[in-house]
Structure 1
Amino acid sequence: MTWRGAALLALAIPAPALAQAYQCTPPQRFDPVRPIQPDGPPRRVPIAGYTLAASWSPEYCRRPQDKASMQCSGANGRFGFVLHGLWPEAGSGPPPQWCSLTPRPSAQVIRRNLCMTPVPWLLEHEWAKHGSCMAKTPETYYRAAGALWRSLRWPDADRLSRQDGLTAGDLRRAFVERNPDWKLEQIGVLASDTGWLREVHLCYGRDFMPAACDRQSFGPPDSATLKIWRGL
Protein backbone atom coordinates (compact mmCIF):
# COMPACT_ATOMS: atom_id res chain seq x y z
CA MET A 1 0.00 0.00 0.00
CA THR A 2 1.31 3.46 -0.86
CA TRP A 3 1.70 6.25 1.68
CA ARG A 4 -1.34 8.06 0.21
CA GLY A 5 -3.46 4.92 0.37
CA ALA A 6 -2.45 4.25 3.97
CA ALA A 7 -3.26 7.82 4.97
CA LEU A 8 -6.68 7.73 3.30
CA LEU A 9 -7.45 4.41 4.94
CA ALA A 10 -6.42 5.80 8.33
CA LEU A 11 -8.72 8.79 7.81
CA ALA A 12 -11.62 6.49 7.04
CA ILE A 13 -11.22 4.29 10.11
CA PRO A 14 -12.27 5.88 13.45
CA ALA A 15 -9.53 4.08 15.38
CA PRO A 16 -7.40 5.56 18.15
CA ALA A 17 -3.89 6.59 17.17
CA LEU A 18 -1.23 4.82 19.20
CA ALA A 19 2.35 5.68 19.96
CA GLN A 20 5.06 3.06 19.49
CA ALA A 21 3.87 1.60 22.78
CA TYR A 22 4.67 -1.74 24.32
CA GLN A 23 1.28 -1.37 25.95
CA CYS A 24 -0.99 1.59 26.68
CA THR A 25 -4.13 2.07 28.73
CA PRO A 26 -5.32 5.69 28.82
CA PRO A 27 -6.34 6.82 32.32
CA GLN A 28 -10.03 7.12 33.04
CA ARG A 29 -9.36 10.45 34.73
CA PHE A 30 -6.57 12.99 34.62
CA ASP A 31 -6.04 16.45 36.06
CA PRO A 32 -7.87 19.15 34.08
CA VAL A 33 -5.64 20.96 31.60
CA ARG A 34 -5.22 24.63 32.40
CA PRO A 35 -5.76 27.12 29.57
CA ILE A 36 -2.64 27.40 27.46
CA GLN A 37 -0.73 30.67 27.55
CA PRO A 38 0.89 31.67 24.23
CA ASP A 39 4.66 32.02 24.25
CA GLY A 40 4.65 34.37 21.26
CA PRO A 41 2.42 36.51 19.04
CA PRO A 42 -0.24 35.15 16.66
CA ARG A 43 1.18 34.67 13.18
CA ARG A 44 -1.11 33.91 10.25
CA VAL A 45 0.97 33.19 7.17
CA PRO A 46 0.40 30.86 4.20
CA ILE A 47 1.20 27.18 4.76
CA ALA A 48 3.79 25.66 2.43
CA GLY A 49 4.30 22.29 4.14
CA TYR A 50 4.22 20.38 7.40
CA THR A 51 6.49 18.70 9.93
CA LEU A 52 5.45 15.63 11.92
CA ALA A 53 7.63 15.61 15.04
CA ALA A 54 8.06 12.32 16.92
CA SER A 55 9.84 12.33 20.29
CA TRP A 56 11.91 9.40 21.57
CA SER A 57 10.17 8.90 24.90
CA PRO A 58 12.99 7.20 26.90
CA GLU A 59 15.22 10.23 26.32
CA TYR A 60 12.53 12.60 27.62
CA CYS A 61 11.95 10.36 30.65
CA ARG A 62 15.58 10.61 31.75
CA ARG A 63 14.66 13.84 33.56
CA PRO A 64 13.88 13.11 37.24
CA GLN A 65 11.05 15.65 37.34
CA ASP A 66 9.10 13.68 34.70
CA LYS A 67 9.25 10.23 36.32
CA ALA A 68 5.72 10.45 37.75
CA SER A 69 4.03 11.50 34.49
CA MET A 70 1.83 9.22 32.38
CA GLN A 71 4.53 9.11 29.72
CA CYS A 72 7.26 8.01 32.11
CA SER A 73 5.78 6.26 35.16
CA GLY A 74 4.89 2.99 33.43
CA ALA A 75 1.47 2.95 35.08
CA ASN A 76 -0.36 3.42 31.77
CA GLY A 77 2.16 2.00 29.33
CA ARG A 78 5.75 1.95 28.12
CA PHE A 79 6.44 4.16 25.14
CA GLY A 80 9.00 4.40 22.35
CA PHE A 81 8.29 7.05 19.72
CA VAL A 82 5.39 9.34 20.62
CA LEU A 83 3.86 12.16 18.62
CA HIS A 84 5.11 15.58 19.68
CA GLY A 85 2.97 17.38 17.13
CA LEU A 86 2.01 18.16 13.55
CA TRP A 87 3.31 21.61 12.62
CA PRO A 88 2.39 23.79 9.63
CA GLU A 89 5.41 25.41 8.02
CA ALA A 90 5.82 28.60 5.97
CA GLY A 91 7.60 28.75 2.64
CA SER A 92 10.14 31.15 4.13
CA GLY A 93 10.40 32.91 7.46
CA PRO A 94 8.75 31.96 10.75
CA PRO A 95 5.89 29.43 10.63
CA PRO A 96 2.25 30.16 11.47
CA GLN A 97 1.39 29.95 15.17
CA TRP A 98 -1.21 30.77 17.83
CA CYS A 99 -4.01 31.44 15.35
CA SER A 100 -6.67 30.73 18.01
CA LEU A 101 -6.92 29.45 21.58
CA THR A 102 -10.49 28.23 21.07
CA PRO A 103 -12.31 25.96 20.84
CA ARG A 104 -10.47 24.04 23.54
CA PRO A 105 -10.32 20.24 23.17
CA SER A 106 -12.69 18.34 25.42
CA ALA A 107 -11.48 15.88 28.05
CA GLN A 108 -12.90 13.07 25.90
CA VAL A 109 -10.88 14.19 22.86
CA ILE A 110 -7.69 14.47 24.91
CA ARG A 111 -8.17 11.01 26.44
CA ARG A 112 -8.80 9.51 22.99
CA ASN A 113 -5.34 10.66 21.85
CA LEU A 114 -3.30 9.94 24.99
CA CYS A 115 -1.83 6.71 23.60
CA MET A 116 -0.40 8.75 20.72
CA THR A 117 0.74 11.76 22.77
CA PRO A 118 0.73 10.68 26.44
CA VAL A 119 0.87 14.23 27.83
CA PRO A 120 -2.53 15.94 28.30
CA TRP A 121 -1.25 19.52 28.39
CA LEU A 122 0.90 18.95 25.30
CA LEU A 123 -2.12 17.84 23.29
CA GLU A 124 -3.86 21.14 24.03
CA HIS A 125 -0.66 23.14 23.49
CA GLU A 126 -0.06 21.59 20.06
CA TRP A 127 -3.62 22.33 18.98
CA ALA A 128 -3.50 25.96 20.15
CA LYS A 129 -0.03 26.80 18.83
CA HIS A 130 0.02 24.79 15.61
CA GLY A 131 -3.27 23.06 14.89
CA SER A 132 -5.44 26.17 15.07
CA CYS A 133 -3.54 27.52 12.05
CA MET A 134 -4.48 24.53 9.88
CA ALA A 135 -7.84 23.27 11.18
CA LYS A 136 -11.04 24.75 12.60
CA THR A 137 -11.41 22.31 15.50
CA PRO A 138 -9.15 20.19 17.71
CA GLU A 139 -10.96 17.06 16.48
CA THR A 140 -10.03 17.79 12.86
CA TYR A 141 -6.43 18.54 13.77
CA TYR A 142 -5.98 15.37 15.82
CA ARG A 143 -7.67 13.33 13.07
CA ALA A 144 -5.14 14.60 10.51
CA ALA A 145 -2.20 14.01 12.86
CA GLY A 146 -3.48 10.54 13.71
CA ALA A 147 -3.92 9.60 10.05
CA LEU A 148 -0.32 10.48 9.29
CA TRP A 149 0.87 8.76 12.46
CA ARG A 150 -0.92 5.49 11.68
CA SER A 151 0.51 5.47 8.15
CA LEU A 152 4.07 5.14 9.54
CA ARG A 153 6.06 2.12 10.69
CA TRP A 154 8.77 2.95 13.20
CA PRO A 155 12.15 1.17 13.31
CA ASP A 156 13.25 -0.77 16.36
CA ALA A 157 15.21 1.95 18.16
CA ASP A 158 16.06 -0.41 21.02
CA ARG A 159 17.90 -2.66 18.56
CA LEU A 160 19.55 0.29 16.83
CA SER A 161 20.80 1.59 20.18
CA ARG A 162 22.99 -1.52 20.53
CA GLN A 163 24.64 -1.06 17.14
CA ASP A 164 28.33 -0.16 17.24
CA GLY A 165 29.16 3.09 15.51
CA LEU A 166 25.52 4.15 15.12
CA THR A 167 25.01 7.26 12.98
CA ALA A 168 22.11 9.54 12.10
CA GLY A 169 22.18 7.97 8.63
CA ASP A 170 21.68 4.50 10.14
CA LEU A 171 18.49 5.71 11.80
CA ARG A 172 17.27 7.32 8.58
CA ARG A 173 17.98 4.15 6.59
CA ALA A 174 16.17 2.02 9.19
CA PHE A 175 13.14 4.28 8.83
CA VAL A 176 13.21 3.99 5.02
CA GLU A 177 13.40 0.19 5.30
CA ARG A 178 10.09 0.26 7.19
CA ASN A 179 8.60 3.03 5.00
CA PRO A 180 9.82 2.55 1.40
CA ASP A 181 7.96 5.62 0.08
CA TRP A 182 10.32 7.84 2.08
CA LYS A 183 13.82 9.09 1.18
CA LEU A 184 16.72 9.95 3.49
CA GLU A 185 16.52 13.68 2.73
CA GLN A 186 12.91 13.76 3.98
CA ILE A 187 13.81 12.55 7.48
CA GLY A 188 15.12 15.02 10.04
CA VAL A 189 16.93 14.05 13.22
CA LEU A 190 17.09 16.15 16.37
CA ALA A 191 19.83 15.20 18.84
CA SER A 192 21.13 16.73 22.05
CA ASP A 193 24.44 18.56 22.18
CA THR A 194 26.01 15.30 23.38
CA GLY A 195 24.56 13.25 20.49
CA TRP A 196 21.55 11.56 22.13
CA LEU A 197 18.44 11.10 19.95
CA ARG A 198 15.62 13.42 20.97
CA GLU A 199 13.23 13.52 18.00
CA VAL A 200 12.63 12.49 14.41
CA HIS A 201 11.14 15.21 12.18
CA LEU A 202 9.33 13.99 9.07
CA CYS A 203 8.92 16.62 6.37
CA TYR A 204 5.82 16.93 4.17
CA GLY A 205 4.77 19.20 1.35
CA ARG A 206 1.54 21.14 1.30
CA ASP A 207 -0.13 18.05 -0.24
CA PHE A 208 0.89 15.95 2.80
CA MET A 209 3.30 13.93 0.67
CA PRO A 210 6.90 13.39 1.90
CA ALA A 211 9.19 16.27 0.89
CA ALA A 212 12.84 17.18 1.38
CA CYS A 213 13.60 18.81 4.72
CA ASP A 214 15.31 22.18 4.85
CA ARG A 215 18.77 22.30 6.42
CA GLN A 216 17.50 23.18 9.90
CA SER A 217 14.85 20.45 9.96
CA PHE A 218 17.22 17.83 8.55
CA GLY A 219 19.62 18.18 11.46
CA PRO A 220 22.98 16.37 11.67
CA PRO A 221 24.42 14.76 8.53
CA ASP A 222 24.15 11.04 7.92
CA SER A 223 27.74 10.60 9.09
CA ALA A 224 27.11 12.13 12.54
CA THR A 225 27.46 9.79 15.53
CA LEU A 226 24.13 9.09 17.26
CA LYS A 227 23.27 7.55 20.63
CA ILE A 228 19.84 6.26 21.71
CA TRP A 229 18.91 5.99 25.36
CA ARG A 230 16.95 2.80 26.09
CA GLY A 231 15.52 3.88 29.41
CA LEU A 232 17.17 1.13 31.43
Structure 2
Amino acid sequence: MIRVALAALALLLPLPALAQAYQCRMPSRVTMPPAPEPGQTVRMPIARYTLAASWSPDHCKLRGAGDPLQCSGKAGRFGFVLHGLWPEGAAGRWPQWCSITPRPTPAELAPHLCMTPSPRLLEHAWAKHGSCMAKRPEGYFKVAAILWRSIRWPDADYLSQQDDLTVGDLRSAFVTRNPGWPRESVGVVASRTGWLRELRLCYGRDFMPQACPRRAFGPPDSASLKIWRGL
Protein backbone atom coordinates (compact mmCIF):
# COMPACT_ATOMS: atom_id res chain seq x y z
CA MET A 1 0.00 0.00 0.00
CA ILE A 2 2.73 2.51 0.97
CA ARG A 3 4.83 1.82 -2.12
CA VAL A 4 1.87 2.03 -4.51
CA ALA A 5 0.58 5.28 -3.02
CA LEU A 6 3.99 6.93 -3.02
CA ALA A 7 4.76 5.84 -6.56
CA ALA A 8 1.61 7.62 -7.70
CA LEU A 9 2.42 10.68 -5.59
CA ALA A 10 5.97 10.89 -6.96
CA LEU A 11 4.58 11.46 -10.45
CA LEU A 12 2.97 14.68 -9.21
CA LEU A 13 6.07 16.16 -7.61
CA PRO A 14 7.15 19.70 -8.45
CA LEU A 15 10.76 20.50 -9.18
CA PRO A 16 13.08 19.08 -6.49
CA ALA A 17 13.24 21.12 -3.29
CA LEU A 18 15.26 19.79 -0.41
CA ALA A 19 13.50 22.13 1.99
CA GLN A 20 12.23 25.66 2.15
CA ALA A 21 15.79 26.70 2.84
CA TYR A 22 16.74 30.22 1.87
CA GLN A 23 20.29 28.92 1.83
CA CYS A 24 21.55 25.48 2.82
CA ARG A 25 25.25 24.79 3.34
CA MET A 26 25.49 21.51 5.18
CA PRO A 27 28.81 20.20 6.55
CA SER A 28 30.59 17.52 4.57
CA ARG A 29 30.63 15.23 7.61
CA VAL A 30 27.69 14.36 9.85
CA THR A 31 28.34 13.99 13.57
CA MET A 32 26.10 11.29 14.99
CA PRO A 33 24.07 12.26 18.05
CA PRO A 34 23.74 10.01 21.09
CA ALA A 35 21.21 7.23 20.59
CA PRO A 36 17.71 8.33 21.66
CA GLU A 37 16.27 7.05 24.91
CA PRO A 38 13.23 4.98 23.95
CA GLY A 39 9.83 5.55 25.48
CA GLN A 40 7.01 3.07 25.91
CA THR A 41 6.39 0.91 22.84
CA VAL A 42 2.87 1.25 21.42
CA ARG A 43 1.80 -0.79 18.39
CA MET A 44 -1.50 -0.33 16.59
CA PRO A 45 -2.96 -0.18 13.08
CA ILE A 46 -2.20 3.07 11.22
CA ALA A 47 -5.28 5.11 10.33
CA ARG A 48 -3.71 8.34 9.04
CA TYR A 49 -0.49 10.36 8.88
CA THR A 50 0.60 13.87 9.85
CA LEU A 51 3.44 15.77 8.19
CA ALA A 52 4.58 18.40 10.69
CA ALA A 53 6.52 21.40 9.36
CA SER A 54 8.05 23.72 11.95
CA TRP A 55 8.57 27.41 11.26
CA SER A 56 12.32 27.57 11.85
CA PRO A 57 12.74 31.27 12.80
CA ASP A 58 10.32 30.82 15.70
CA HIS A 59 12.01 27.58 16.81
CA CYS A 60 15.41 29.27 16.77
CA LYS A 61 14.09 32.26 18.72
CA LEU A 62 13.08 29.91 21.53
CA ARG A 63 15.63 27.07 21.41
CA GLY A 64 18.38 28.14 19.05
CA ALA A 65 21.25 27.30 21.36
CA GLY A 66 20.25 23.64 21.34
CA ASP A 67 20.22 23.36 17.54
CA PRO A 68 23.36 25.05 16.21
CA LEU A 69 23.17 23.44 12.76
CA GLN A 70 19.69 24.83 12.19
CA CYS A 71 19.99 28.11 14.04
CA SER A 72 23.57 29.41 13.98
CA GLY A 73 23.42 30.57 10.37
CA LYS A 74 26.53 28.60 9.46
CA ALA A 75 24.50 25.98 7.59
CA GLY A 76 22.09 28.46 6.04
CA ARG A 77 18.82 30.16 6.82
CA PHE A 78 15.64 28.11 6.95
CA GLY A 79 11.91 28.72 6.67
CA PHE A 80 9.67 25.68 7.09
CA VAL A 81 11.59 22.54 8.05
CA LEU A 82 10.32 19.02 8.53
CA HIS A 83 9.63 18.23 12.17
CA GLY A 84 8.50 14.73 11.31
CA LEU A 85 6.16 12.35 9.54
CA TRP A 86 3.92 10.78 12.17
CA PRO A 87 1.73 7.69 11.75
CA GLU A 88 -1.43 7.87 13.82
CA GLY A 89 -3.97 5.36 15.03
CA ALA A 90 -7.65 5.79 15.72
CA ALA A 91 -9.30 7.83 18.49
CA GLY A 92 -6.40 10.24 18.96
CA ARG A 93 -3.78 7.58 19.69
CA TRP A 94 -0.59 6.81 17.81
CA PRO A 95 1.99 4.04 17.48
CA GLN A 96 5.43 4.89 18.79
CA TRP A 97 8.86 3.55 19.70
CA CYS A 98 8.41 0.30 17.78
CA SER A 99 12.22 0.02 17.57
CA ILE A 100 15.30 2.22 17.96
CA THR A 101 17.38 -0.05 15.71
CA PRO A 102 18.85 -0.13 13.22
CA ARG A 103 20.30 3.32 13.80
CA PRO A 104 20.60 5.49 10.67
CA THR A 105 24.12 5.95 9.37
CA PRO A 106 25.70 9.36 8.67
CA ALA A 107 25.36 8.60 4.95
CA GLU A 108 21.60 8.04 5.40
CA LEU A 109 21.14 11.26 7.38
CA ALA A 110 23.21 13.58 5.18
CA PRO A 111 20.83 13.82 2.16
CA HIS A 112 17.98 14.98 4.42
CA LEU A 113 19.70 17.70 6.44
CA CYS A 114 18.39 20.50 4.23
CA MET A 115 14.90 19.14 4.94
CA THR A 116 15.44 18.56 8.67
CA PRO A 117 18.64 20.37 9.69
CA SER A 118 19.23 18.30 12.82
CA PRO A 119 20.75 14.79 12.91
CA ARG A 120 19.29 14.39 16.39
CA LEU A 121 15.74 15.19 15.25
CA LEU A 122 16.03 12.97 12.17
CA GLU A 123 17.02 9.97 14.28
CA HIS A 124 14.40 10.75 16.91
CA ALA A 125 11.71 10.90 14.23
CA TRP A 126 12.80 7.53 12.88
CA ALA A 127 12.97 5.83 16.29
CA LYS A 128 9.76 7.23 17.76
CA HIS A 129 7.56 7.38 14.66
CA GLY A 130 9.19 5.91 11.58
CA SER A 131 10.02 2.53 13.09
CA CYS A 132 6.27 1.89 13.32
CA MET A 133 5.78 2.31 9.56
CA ALA A 134 9.06 1.17 7.95
CA LYS A 135 11.59 -1.56 8.61
CA ARG A 136 14.67 0.60 8.15
CA PRO A 137 15.51 4.31 8.54
CA GLU A 138 16.18 4.86 4.83
CA GLY A 139 12.66 3.64 3.99
CA TYR A 140 11.09 6.08 6.44
CA PHE A 141 13.24 9.00 5.26
CA LYS A 142 12.37 8.21 1.63
CA VAL A 143 8.62 8.38 2.35
CA ALA A 144 9.03 11.63 4.32
CA ALA A 145 11.15 13.20 1.55
CA ILE A 146 8.65 12.31 -1.19
CA LEU A 147 5.83 13.94 0.76
CA TRP A 148 8.01 16.92 1.60
CA ARG A 149 8.99 17.54 -2.02
CA SER A 150 5.35 17.33 -3.09
CA ILE A 151 4.52 20.50 -1.13
CA ARG A 152 4.98 24.11 -2.20
CA TRP A 153 5.32 26.22 0.94
CA PRO A 154 3.72 29.66 1.27
CA ASP A 155 5.90 32.74 1.62
CA ALA A 156 5.62 33.17 5.37
CA ASP A 157 8.13 36.05 5.35
CA TYR A 158 5.76 38.01 3.10
CA LEU A 159 2.73 37.06 5.16
CA SER A 160 4.47 38.20 8.35
CA GLN A 161 4.36 41.79 7.08
CA GLN A 162 0.60 41.72 6.49
CA ASP A 163 -1.53 43.85 8.80
CA ASP A 164 -4.18 41.97 10.78
CA LEU A 165 -2.88 38.57 9.65
CA THR A 166 -5.14 35.63 10.50
CA VAL A 167 -4.76 31.87 10.58
CA GLY A 168 -7.15 31.79 7.62
CA ASP A 169 -4.73 33.96 5.60
CA LEU A 170 -2.01 31.36 6.10
CA ARG A 171 -4.31 28.50 5.16
CA SER A 172 -5.44 30.40 2.06
CA ALA A 173 -1.82 31.02 1.04
CA PHE A 174 -1.08 27.32 1.43
CA VAL A 175 -4.00 26.09 -0.68
CA THR A 176 -3.25 28.73 -3.33
CA ARG A 177 0.27 27.31 -3.64
CA ASN A 178 -1.08 23.75 -3.60
CA PRO A 179 -4.16 23.54 -5.84
CA GLY A 180 -6.47 20.72 -4.84
CA TRP A 181 -5.47 20.75 -1.17
CA PRO A 182 -8.59 21.17 1.00
CA ARG A 183 -8.08 23.81 3.67
CA GLU A 184 -9.52 21.43 6.28
CA SER A 185 -6.37 19.33 5.76
CA VAL A 186 -4.09 22.21 6.86
CA GLY A 187 -3.59 22.23 10.61
CA VAL A 188 -1.92 25.20 12.31
CA VAL A 189 -0.09 25.27 15.64
CA ALA A 190 0.35 28.66 17.30
CA SER A 191 1.58 29.75 20.69
CA ARG A 192 -0.75 31.10 23.35
CA THR A 193 0.23 34.59 22.24
CA GLY A 194 -0.54 33.85 18.59
CA TRP A 195 2.92 33.18 17.10
CA LEU A 196 3.16 30.56 14.35
CA ARG A 197 4.83 27.33 15.51
CA GLU A 198 3.99 24.69 12.87
CA LEU A 199 1.85 23.61 9.98
CA ARG A 200 0.48 20.07 10.29
CA LEU A 201 -0.69 18.50 7.07
CA CYS A 202 -3.14 15.65 7.44
CA TYR A 203 -3.12 12.56 5.20
CA GLY A 204 -5.12 9.37 4.99
CA ARG A 205 -3.57 5.91 4.83
CA ASP A 206 -3.22 6.38 1.06
CA PHE A 207 -1.07 9.52 1.60
CA MET A 208 -3.73 11.74 0.06
CA PRO A 209 -4.93 14.87 1.91
CA GLN A 210 -7.58 14.15 4.52
CA ALA A 211 -9.48 16.45 6.86
CA CYS A 212 -7.56 16.96 10.08
CA PRO A 213 -9.08 15.79 13.35
CA ARG A 214 -10.34 18.73 15.38
CA ARG A 215 -7.39 18.58 17.78
CA ALA A 216 -4.92 18.78 14.87
CA PHE A 217 -6.72 21.49 12.88
CA GLY A 218 -5.84 24.13 15.44
CA PRO A 219 -7.19 27.68 15.64
CA PRO A 220 -10.12 28.77 13.45
CA ASP A 221 -9.51 30.86 10.35
CA SER A 222 -10.61 33.98 12.20
CA ALA A 223 -7.86 33.74 14.85
CA SER A 224 -5.11 36.37 14.76
CA LEU A 225 -1.64 35.16 13.80
CA LYS A 226 1.90 36.53 14.06
CA ILE A 227 4.95 35.15 12.23
CA TRP A 228 8.45 35.73 13.56
CA ARG A 229 10.93 36.41 10.76
CA GLY A 230 14.09 36.22 12.81
CA LEU A 231 15.13 39.76 11.90
Partner of 2:128: 129
| Alpha-carbon separation, structure 1, partners of 2:8 and 2:211 | 20
Q: How does 1:26-105 map to 2 (within 5 A)?
A: 26-38=26-38, 40-63=39-62, 65-66=64-65, 69-105=68-104
Measure the CA separation in 1 of the matches of 2:193 and 2:10.
Answer: 39
* C-alpha distance in 1 between matches for 2:139 and 2:113: 16
Identity of aligned residues (%): 64
State the 1:67 CA deviation. Answer: 7.3
Q: CA deviation at 1:133?
A: 0.3
Query: Which residue number in structure 2 is paired with residue 7 of structure 1?
Result: 9
Deviation at 1:8, TM superposition (A): 1.8
CA change 1:186–1:70 in 2 (3 A) is: same
How far 1:10 moved relative to its partner? Answer: 7.5
Partner Cα distance (1:125, 1:68) in 2: 14
SS at match of 1:144: helix
> Residue type of the partner of 2:76?
G
The residue type paired with residue 139 of structure 2 is T
SS class of match (2:174): helix
RMSD: 2.0
Mapped to 1, the partners of 2:51 and 2:121 lie a distance apart of 15
Letter of the structure 1 residue corresponding to residue 217 of structure 2:
F
Distance 1:113 1:36 in 2: 18
1:153-164 alignment runs, 5 A limit: 153-164=152-163
Structure 2 residues not aligned, in runs of 5+: none
Normalising to structure 1: TM-score of the pair?
A: 0.92
Matches of 1:119 and 1:6 in 2, distance apart? 29
Counterparts of 2:202 and 2:217, CA distance in 1: 9
Secondary structure of the residue aligned to 2:11 is helix
CA distance in structure 1 between the aligned counterparts of 2:190 and 2:177, rounded to whole angstroms:
21
- Deviations 1:171-194, CA, capped at 9 Å, x for gaps: 000000000120111000000111
Cα distance in structure 2, aligned partners of 1:172 and 1:97: 29
C-alpha distance in structure 1 between counterparts of 2:83 and 2:42, whole Å: 21
List per-residue Cα deviations over 1:83-116 (Å, max 9, x = no partner): 0000001121420000001111001111111000
1:141-174 Cα deviation digits (max 9, x unpaired): 0000000000000010000001111011100000
Decide whether the 8 Å contact of 1:191 with 1:199 is kept in 2: yes
- The secondary structure found in structure 2 opposite 1:198 is strand
Distance 1:64 1:125, change over 3 A: closer
Aligned partner letter, 2:167: A
Alignment check: 8 A CA contact 1:52 1:86 kept = yes
Contact 2:167 2:221 in 1 (8 A): yes
Give TM-score, length-normalised by structure 2: 0.92
C-alpha contact (below 8 Å) 1:4/1:209 kept by paired residues: no
* Alignment-mate amino acid for residue 179 of structure 2: P
Q: Partner amino acid for 2:187? A: G
Residue 67 of structure 2 contacts residue 118 of structure 2 at CA under 8 Å; is this kept in 1? no
Unaligned runs of 5+ residues in structure 1 are none
Kindly state the Cα deviation for residue 228 of structure 1 after the two structures are TM-superposed. Answer: 0.1
